[in-house]
Amino acid sequence: MRIANVLRAKGSVVATVPPDAPVAVMLAQMAKHRVGAVVVVDDGAVVGMVWERDVIRLLHERGASLVQTPILEIMNVDVISCMPTDEVDGVLRIMTDRRIRHLPVMVGDKLSGIVSMGDLVKARIDELETNRAYLQSYIGAG
């Protein structure tokens, strides 16, 4: 199964924020979209990501003043992404090895979606259940 199949099932809406916006705007996007990560986009280019874990850690370190801080100061600029043609199992392996729960999906330099560990696990389970049902049907018909 490919990442494109996952995006077809879940959709391609991505919560994005500009790098100069305050953290409060990012938190509003996370709440609005009910997501644990946002992609930071500047003039259409992906320039970073921020995860809820980052925000929690920084809130503990800096306190409530963090909400006025520009996202540029807290975002992770080492963004790992995947492509729609990538296999789900390979992307799951990358996410597990790197301890990343969200990956933007890129077509060239254009953001086309985002997948979470949960999205990929669900897709994999659905695929396994379909295969199981097919095999049971095949065995029962034999």
Question: Tokens 């520009």, residue?
Answer: 70
Which domain does 136 fall in, by range? 3-141
C-alpha span between 87 and 83 (Å, rounded): 9
* pTM exceeds 0.75 for this model: yes
CA distance linking residue 5 with residue 122, whole number of Å:
12
**How many C-beta atoms lie closer than 10 Å to residue 56's C-beta?**
10
Partners of 50 in beta bridges: 38
Over residues 67-80, mean pLDDT: 96
β-pairing, 102-107 vs 110-116, is antiparallel
In the block, tokens 């095999």 appear at 135
Write out pLDDT tens, residues 82-116. 999 999 999 999 999 999 999 999 999 999 999 99
Q: How confident is the model at residue 142 (pLDDT cuts 50, 70, 90)?
A: low
Question: Rounded to 5 degrees, what are φ and ψ at 29?
Answer: -65, -40
Q: For residue 69, what are the contacts with CB-CB under 8 A and spacing of at least 6?
A: 22, 23, 62
CATH of the domain at 21: 3.10.580.10
Q: What is the pLDDT of residue 132?
A: 83
- How many domains does the structure of the chain reveal? 1
Q: Kindly report the backbone phi and psi dihedral angles of residue 74, in degrees, each rounded to the nearest multiple of 5, phi listed first.
A: -120, -10
**Residue 117 parent element (H or E):** helix 117-141
Cβ pair 99, 80 in contact under 8 A: no
Q: With 70 as the cut, is the pLDDT of residue 28 above it?
A: yes
CA separation (Å) from 115 to 38, 55, 131, 138? 11, 20, 23, 33
Q: Give pLDDT tens digits for 111-129.
A: 999 999 999 999 989 888 8
